Amino acid sequence: MTAVPRALSPLRHPHYRWLATSLALSLFGHGLWAVAVVWQVVALGGGPAALSLVTALSAGGMLVSTLVGGALADRLPQRHILLGVTLTEGVTVGAVAVLSLTGVLALGHLAAVGLAGGIALGFYYPAYSALVPVLVPPGDLLAANGLEGVVRPVLAHAAGPAAAGFLVAAISPGAALAAAALAAFGAAVCVTGLPVRAAVPRDGGARSPVTGLLADVREGFGYMVRTPWLLATLLFAATMLLAFIGPFEVLVPFAIQAAGGGPTQHAYVLAAFGIGGAVGSLVVASLRLPRRYLTVMVLLWGLGCVPLVVFGFTTDLWVMLVAGAVMGATFQAGMVIWGTLLQRRVPAGLLGRVSSLDFFLSLSFMPLSMALAGPVSELIGLTATFVVGGLAPAVLAVVTIVVARMPADELAHPLDVLPEAPPLAPSAGERLDLV
C-alpha cells in the first residue's frame, strides 16, 4: 500500500468525510478571520493595543469555556455541539462583515465577536475529538489524526490567510470577513450530515445541571491524576510550551531582523514550520503506530525543540528555514500520535473532558510563555533564551519518560494490536441515529 492511500483511508467512511469537510471549511474560515481582523482593526484606525484586545478576548473565551465544553462533549451528542459552534461563528462573523461593508462597524463589535468566537471554539475541540473515534475504526485513527495534521497548517496558516490577503487588497476587510462567515456556514451544512450519538446516561441524582457539569469536570481531573501516562504527558507538554512557544512566537522575528531580514523572511520561516508540520503528519499517518508510542511521541516533542537553538547563533536564512521545518515536522508528528493515543486509551465517556484538559493546559501556558519571553531575553540575552527554550524540553522529555515509566506502560498496553469490535456498533448506552 502506498503512503497516500493509507493516509487517506479514513475518507472511505462517509460520515467521517462530512466531518473532515466541515473541519477543513472551519480551518479555512479561521485563516480568513486571522488576517481579516488585523486589517479591519487598521481600517478602523486601531493599532497594536486594539488588535491585542480582540485576540486576548478570543483566547480568554477559549480558556473559560473549554473545560465546560469537555463536560458537555461527554454528555450531549457531539454533532449538536459542532453545529452550534459553526452556526455561532457564521452568524457573528457574518454580522460584523455586514457592519463593515455598510461602514458602521466599531472596534467594540470586533471585540465582542472575538470573545464569542473564542468561547465557541472552546466547545469545538473536545466535541470534535470525542466524535472522531465514533466515526472511524481504530485502525484508521492514526491516519485520521494525520490528515487533520496536514490540512490544519495548509488551510489555517496558508490558504485561508492568502485568500484573506487577496480579498482585503482587492475589495476590503469586510469582504474577507464575509468569506469567513460563508466558510462557517458551509461547515455547519456539512455537520448536518453527521450522525448523532446519544449521550451515555449518567447518574446525576438530584443535582442541578450546573452542579452536574462541575462534577463531570472534577471526574475528568480525577481520571487525569489517576492515570500516570496521561498526567506525565500533559505536565511535560505544558512545561515544553512554557519553554518553547514564547521564544518561537515572540523572539524569532527579532532574530531574523538581527540577521538582516524582515516580515517576508519571517513569513518564510512560519511557512517552513507549517509545511514541515504537514509533511510530518503525512509521514506518521502513512505508517503503523509505533510500538513505543509514548517514548517516540515525547522524544519527538522534546528533541524537536532543539533546532530553536539555531536562531540564537546563525544569520543564514536557509538554516532558519530548515530549523523551522524540522520543528514543525516533529511537533505535528507527535500531535498525530497524541490524538490517536487519547482516542485509543481514554474511555469514550471521558474523552471530551480529557481533550478539554489538554486544550486548557495548552491555552494556559502559551500566553504566559509569550509574556515571559521578552523580559527573560532582556535579562539573559536573546541567544541564551533560545538555548534554554530549545534544550530544556529535550531534558524534560528524558526525565518524563524515565519518571513516568513510559517504556513499561506502553509495553503493557500495546496499541499496534487493534481491537476486534467496530466502533460504530451501538451499545446499550449509546446509539447512532441520523436526524
pLDDT at 183: 95
What is the mean predicted confidence (pLDDT) over 362-381? 81
pLDDT band at 353 (very low <50, low <70, confident <90, very high): confident
- What is the rounded distance in angstroms from the CA atom of residue 195 to the CA atom of residue 180? 25
pLDDT at 347: 85
pLDDT band at 66 (very low <50, low <70, confident <90, very high): confident
> Taking 70 as the threshold, does the pLDDT of residue 433 lie above it?
no
What is the mean predicted confidence (pLDDT) over 217-234? 87
Kindly report, residue by residue over 273-287, the tens digit of the pLDDT. 888 988 898 888 888
C-alpha distances in Å from residue 95, one per residue of 78, 101, 156, 285, 340:
26, 10, 22, 39, 37
- What is the rounded distance in angstroms from the CA atom of residue 37 to the CA atom of residue 141? 35
Of the candidate ranges 32-41, 260-269, 292-301, 402-411, the one whose mean pLDDT is the lowest = 260-269
pLDDT at 401: 95
Looking at this protein, which amino acid is placed at residue 266?
A: H
Closest CA to 250 of 397, 386, 65: 386
- What is the rounded distance in angstroms from the CA atom of residue 34 to the CA atom of residue 28? 10
- Dihedral sign for Cα 96, 100, 102, 103, please: positive
pLDDT at 248: 86
Residue tagged 473565551 (cell numbers)? 61
What is the mean predicted confidence (pLDDT) over 161-168? 83
Looking at this protein, which amino acid is placed at residue 334?
A: G
1-197 matches 224-416 in fold: yes
pLDDT at 293: 92
pLDDT at 247: 86
> Taking 50 as the threshold, does the pLDDT of residue 201 lie above it?
no
- Dihedral sign for Cα 38, 22, 126, 84, please: positive
pLDDT at 90: 93
Residue tagged 471526574 (cell numbers)? 219
pLDDT at 198: 44
What is the mean predicted confidence (pLDDT) over 182-194? 92
DSSP letter at 427 equals: B
- What is the rounded distance in angstroms from the CA atom of residue 178 to the CA atom of residue 32? 9
> Taking 70 as the threshold, does the pLDDT of residue 52 lie above it?
no
> Taking 90 as the threshold, does the pLDDT of residue 294 lie above it?
yes
Grid coordinates belonging to 376 = 527573560
Of the candidate ranges 169-178, 215-224, 331-340, 423-432, the one whose mean pLDDT is the lowest = 423-432
> Taking 50 as the threshold, does the pLDDT of residue 435 lie above it?
no
> Taking 90 as the threshold, does the pLDDT of residue 14 lie above it?
no
- What is the rounded distance in angstroms from the CA atom of residue 232 to the CA atom of residue 364? 17
- What is the rounded distance in angstroms from the CA atom of residue 277 to the CA atom of residue 300? 12
Share of the chain above pLDDT 90, in %: 29
- What is the rounded distance in angstroms from the CA atom of residue 182 to the CA atom of residue 168? 16
Q: Are 184 and 86 in contact (CB under 8 A)?
A: yes
What is the mean predicted confidence (pLDDT) over 417-426? 48
Q: Are 400 and 232 in contact (CB under 8 A)?
A: yes
pLDDT band at 297 (very low <50, low <70, confident <90, very high): very high
Beta bridge partners of 427: 430
Q: Are 131 and 197 in contact (CB under 8 A)?
A: yes
pLDDT at 431: 39
- How is the chain split into domains, by residue range? 1-197, 224-416
What is the mean predicted confidence (pLDDT) over 92-106? 92
Q: Are 86 and 26 in contact (CB under 8 A)?
A: yes
CATH of the domain spanning 1-197? 1.20.1250.20
Cα three-residue angle 29-25-134, rounded to 5 degrees: 130
- Residue predicted with more confidence, 171 or 299: 299
% helix / strand / coil in the chain, to the nearest 5? 80, 0, 20
> Taking 50 as the threshold, does the pLDDT of residue 135 lie above it?
yes
- What is the rounded distance in angstroms from the CA atom of residue 294 to the CA atom of residue 304? 15
pLDDT at 417: 62
DSSP letter at 288 equals: P
CATH of the domain spanning 224-416? 1.20.1250.20
- What is the rounded distance in angstroms from the CA atom of residue 178 to the CA atom of residue 151? 22
pLDDT at 422: 45
Helices 48-73 and 351-380, axial angle in degrees (round to 10): 150
Q: Are 345 and 141 in contact (CB under 8 A)?
A: no
pLDDT band at 10 (very low <50, low <70, confident <90, very high): low
- Residue predicted with more confidence, 154 or 84: 84
- What is the rounded distance in angstroms from the CA atom of residue 432 to the CA atom of residue 416? 27
What is the mean predicted confidence (pLDDT) over 248-255? 82
Burial class (CB in 10 A: 0-12, 13-18, 19+), 226: exposed
> Taking 90 as the threshold, does the pLDDT of residue 91 lie above it?
yes
- Residue predicted with more confidence, 432 or 406: 406
